[in-house]
Structure 1
Amino acid sequence: MNYIKTLFLILFFTVTIYFLGILGRKKCDSFSLTEILLNGLLRLFGSFEVIILPFILLRAKFSYFFYCYCFVLLGTVIFSIFKYARYSLQYIGKDVRKFISALDMPLIAAILMVIFQMSMLAFYMHIDADDAMYVATAATTLKTDTMYQYAADTGILLNAMPSRYVLSPFPIFTAFLGKLFFIHPTIIAHTILAPLMTGFAYLVYYLIGSLIFNKKKGMIGIFLVVLSTFQIWGYFTVYSSSSFILIRSWQGKAVLAGVLIPAALYYLIKACQTKPQYKWQISSSLFLVLSASLVSSMGIMLIPTLLGLSAVLFCIYNKTFEPLIKCIISCSPAILLMIIYLLMKFGRFCP
């Protein structure tokens, strides 16, 4: 029965992020299917962060948020399906045929290596001390129908919400999937989210490779094979990138390190290659900032810092303030979250 639920969850996840990612796309836009999936993941995470925070700070029940977000998500996806379903059938077929025609031995080897790594995460489980916080938070959310009102490790009622975790409620996303498909959060985290996030990490690296080796046949596959080899043999410490991508990919901070920071680099590289010389996409960077804020409290600071420094450099290079202004607009949610965190930290705001 759990296998059937897992298949439905993967199908739901894929269809949802595709139709979220294609929403607003014009037929003349040159987006690949992989980039649409990445955009959809960012929009899923970003919308989750925006909608859930008011419910958490108002101490509303988790079930209230669950039905509200299901209504918003279902309505958006249905609208996108009615608008893009017919076009998507032609577009996906064309993009898949183009990808198959470009297959070579290095790329096939890279795909097999990625599938092997994902299967290891699906059939074997790594026990991490952080389970006592992240998975326990998701389980406590479902058990008590509250969010961050009980200590996940001891179960006692909290007088104030934990300022370190409350603004980045990625465990609640795990609880959301668990309630939606009637699967325990531990299974969601270790067996389903772990391989999915590892797959998305390599999807982002594929996009980066397609920009760097655009016209060099076979180089993308070699790039991914070398990268996969380093990742497989890179678990020399619990803080290495390999441990986050291959061992702890179900954790929010691993999603930040393995998926979102490389995604930020991808968008910056792509912006450098567009004409005019620098074209800042507010939508992509805004959802990137919101997604980073959802998965980790460090993401509230790291992604805006990366985008801000890049915007300053491009302002100097292009002699215009437009990228910096767009960057500030994109990073405004993170700035607001920083202010809320400081107010909670020093007792000025106690939800």
Structure 2
Amino acid sequence: MLISALILIFMIVILPLETGRLLACFDRTPGRDTGMVFLAGFLFQIVLFFPVALGCMFFIRQDNFAVCTKIYLILSLIPAVAGTICRVKELKERKPEAPEKAAKPEVYSNTGEVKNGKFRDAEKMILWGAFLVIFAFQLYKAVTTAFIDGDNTFYVTQSLIAQQQGVMFTNLPYTGGPTSLDMRHALAVLPLWFAYLAKISGIHATVLCKTVMPLFLIPLTYLVFFEIAKILYPEEKNNIPFFLCIVAIFEMFGSVSIYTAERFFLTRTWQGKAMLGSVVIPVIILGLLLLAKSYGEKEGTGVKTAWYLIVSTGIFSGICTSLGAAYSAGLVATGCFILAICKKKPGIFVTGLLACIPQVLYMAAYVLLK
């Protein structure tokens, strides 16, 4: 079990992080942190799985999932190794710089009085402590609580069939019997990605989806909101944990119906529909905020990163669920249209439409195949 856990950590943490370092070599944006690097690498890794899975699904008949696993494993290692080499080379070339003591900005209370350093630090620690308590409670409940959900009969079973029988969407999840390729769900390959992780790590697909993946996907969601908070509050650092506390509370008490994103986030964390609401849409919003910031004071800084997040997340939306492609395209087009008006740059909207091409192709393929 320990070896399986280490393998899984390597696949979903180390590989995306090192892949992100490779991408960072092409866009040396100042102030880039490890969280953004990891997020970029994760998107690259999961988007890379999409063409590999589709190619094996449509062009290989026997043991296509086994072939998919081998091909994707090799392809996923290449950018990670390249990123490690790039990072080592960068560290060797970097010249040591003398540390500069930056003056702490004055923070004012509601009465207009300047807060002293001790009060500011105590307030920050309390807010971070409150968020970490809520965050830990959510992880605990996600692992120890089982939720009854009819969709598990399909999604988790498809992952299990791929892991144990080596086929992709050609067996009925309800009976286990063979059938023709399920064109309705064939393009949403997220269950196959979970099956790949289960196959490589040796963990049962059901255990992986229901127990293990929430320990990764819930922190991933809060990582995205953390990056959003850093853009919204570049100077007011104490507002970042406060923002995360508000988000965490909404996630806990937003289950007002069975259809809310908050309910999916905590009860169906591993499903594509849940990842669409908790990861995909927030990352698109992060990309749009970063794009708006790039055309602000330091125009052009971070533009590549912003467009990369938008385009890769658009592809990821189709991997999660078929309708995700339409939702993400609409959000990107609307956001870029608003930015084009606010920044008086029509090129933003034109580029935004071009960024939606993957979703348009996805939806066209879905209609033709179905």
Match of 1:263 in 2: 283
Rate the CA distance shift 1:45–1:88 in 2: closer, same or farther, 3 A: farther
Match of 2:329 in 1: 304
Shift of 1:303: 0.7
Task: Give the whole-Å Cα distance in 2 for the aligned partners of 1:283 and 1:129.
Answer: 35
Task: Give the whole-Å Cα distance in 2 for the aligned partners of 1:266 and 1:43.
Answer: 16
Shift of 1:263: 0.9
Match of 1:155 in 2: 176
Task: Give the whole-Å Cα distance in 2 for the aligned partners of 1:332 and 1:121.
Answer: 36
Rate the CA distance shift 1:162–1:222 in 2: closer, same or farther, 3 A: same
Task: Give the whole-Å Cα distance in 1 for the aligned partners of 2:138 and 2:363.
Answer: 36
Rate the CA distance shift 1:264–1:88 in 2: closer, same or farther, 3 A: farther
Match of 2:319 in 1: 294
The equivalences for 1:172-321 within 5 A come to 172-275=192-295, 279=303, 281-321=306-346
Task: Give the whole-Å Cα distance in 2 for the aligned partners of 1:210 and 1:341.
Answer: 37
Match of 1:42 in 2: 43
Aligned residues of 1:121 and 1:247 also touching (Cα < 8 A): yes
Match of 2:133 in 1: 112
Q: Are 1:10 and 2:9 counterparts?
A: yes
Q: What SS does the aligned partner of 2:322 have?
A: coil
Rate the CA distance shift 1:126–1:187 in 2: closer, same or farther, 3 A: same
Task: Give the whole-Å Cα distance in 1 for the aligned partners of 2:70 and 2:6.
Answer: 22
Shift of 1:37: 1.6
Displaced runs of 4+ in structure 1, greater than 6 A?
Answer: 88-91
Match of 2:98 in 1: none
Match of 1:72 among 75, 89, 96: 75
The equivalences for 1:86-105 within 5 A come to 104-105=125-126
Match of 2:189 among 156, 169, 174: 169
Aligned residues of 1:59 and 1:146 also touching (Cα < 8 A): no
Task: Give the whole-Å Cα distance in 2 for the aligned partners of 1:307 and 1:169.
Answer: 22
Task: Give the whole-Å Cα distance in 2 for the aligned partners of 1:21 and 1:191.
Answer: 26
Shift of 1:269: 1.2
Deviates more, 1:276-285 or 1:68-77: 276-285
Deviates more, 1:286-295 or 1:209-218: 209-218
What TM-score, normalized to structure 2? 0.83
Shift of 1:284: 2.1
Task: Give the whole-Å Cα distance in 1 for the aligned partners of 2:88 and 2:209.
Answer: 31
Q: What SS does the aligned partner of 2:255 have?
A: coil
Rate the CA distance shift 1:226–1:311 in 2: closer, same or farther, 3 A: closer
Deviates more, 1:71-80 or 1:102-111: 102-111
Q: Which runs of 5+ in 1 are unaligned?
A: 92-97, 346-351
Task: Give the whole-Å Cα distance in 2 for the aligned partners of 1:168 and 1:196.
Answer: 20
Percent identity over paired residues? 22
Provide Cα deviations, 1:235-292, integer angstroms capped at 9, x if missing partner.
2222122212211111111011001101111111121122356847432222111111
Count of aligned pairs between the two proteins: 335
Match of 1:81 in 2: 84
Rate the CA distance shift 1:13–1:306 in 2: closer, same or farther, 3 A: same
Q: Are 1:126 and 2:126 counterparts?
A: no
Rate the CA distance shift 1:342–1:31 in 2: closer, same or farther, 3 A: same
Q: What SS does the aligned partner of 1:151 have?
A: coil
Q: Which amino acid aligns with 2:332?
A: L
Q: Are 1:24 and 2:44 counterparts?
A: no
Rate the CA distance shift 1:275–1:319 in 2: closer, same or farther, 3 A: closer
Q: What SS does the aligned partner of 1:265 have?
A: helix
Match of 1:348 in 2: none
